[in-house]
Amino acid sequence: MASIFSALNDAFSEKKSFLKIAIYSIPVFICVKLFMEGQMNSLYLLGGITAILLFTVMTSGINNVRENNREILTLNPLRLLLVLVKTAIVVIPQGLLWLGLAYAVTKAITLPEEIPNANLIFDIIIWSLAGTMVFTAYLSFAKYLEIRDGYNYQIIFLSFFDVFAAILFYIPQMIIAVAIVLGPFAYVYYLFHVSYEHWSFLILSCLAAVASISISANYFAQVSYEYVALSNDRKDDYQISKLVDEMDTNKN
């Protein structure tokens, strides 16, 4: 079963992981400063660019783990650009389809007001299912970075419920993982009555946020390995290489 805690270990054992996390935390820190200074127009622009960048980095990381590459986060701009274009081709149409369908359903169906919070609960369920459908298509694509896999609805429907469950487990595990990374520093700042708005704590928070991208990439690579059905009868190279490594270890 996919585990955040094994992903946490792998995220920090990657070669030059701290350097990569530090580099990607720079735009995140700038966004935080813009927010604190109230420069919302600049924040929306840079924040959107940063979000797209980190999402692309995570997508590349999922594929790197799946292909058993030596890195999770990449600094290769050409690879990131290619991954960004491919991801957009999959995520944008799938998002328009399923989220548009969810919008139509929630507008068309209204539950009786006599039932407390019925419509709110119904809307949450519909939007959650639609979001999971988009994310399942995304994981199917990210596994091999093959656009056709993002539109293979046989794979998507077969994997949907397992991915939904994996996301539910992901949320509390990620909260705990961030607490493990950032918690000791937060306690020290609290102990010495240092404001959490101090620049040093903001930097640590940005580093933790980027580290969570690496952790998430590893976790969702595990999810795609365990729950997303193989595409087009292809053999799983990652599984084969892992088996070979285990055989070599047993021999030694």
d(CA 160, CA 82): 26
The answer to whether the beta carbons of residues 169 and 226 sit under 8 Å apart is no
d(CA 98, CA 113): 26
For residue 59, give Cα distances in angstroms to 119, 155, 167, 201, 206.
34, 19, 16, 28, 19
User: What does each of the 252 residues of the chain score in pLDDT, given as a tens digit?
Assistant: 566 767 777 777 777 888 999 999 999 999 999 999 989 999 999 999 999 999 999 999 999 988 888 788 999 999 999 999 999 999 999 999 999 999 999 999 888 777 778 888 999 999 999 999 999 999 999 989 999 999 999 989 999 999 999 999 898 988 888 888 898 999 999 998 889 889 999 999 999 999 999 999 999 998 988 888 764 445 444 444 444 444 454 444
- The 8-class DSSP code of residue 73 comes to S
pLDDT of residue 59: 96
pLDDT of residue 234: 52
pLDDT of residue 206: 94
pLDDT of residue 6: 74
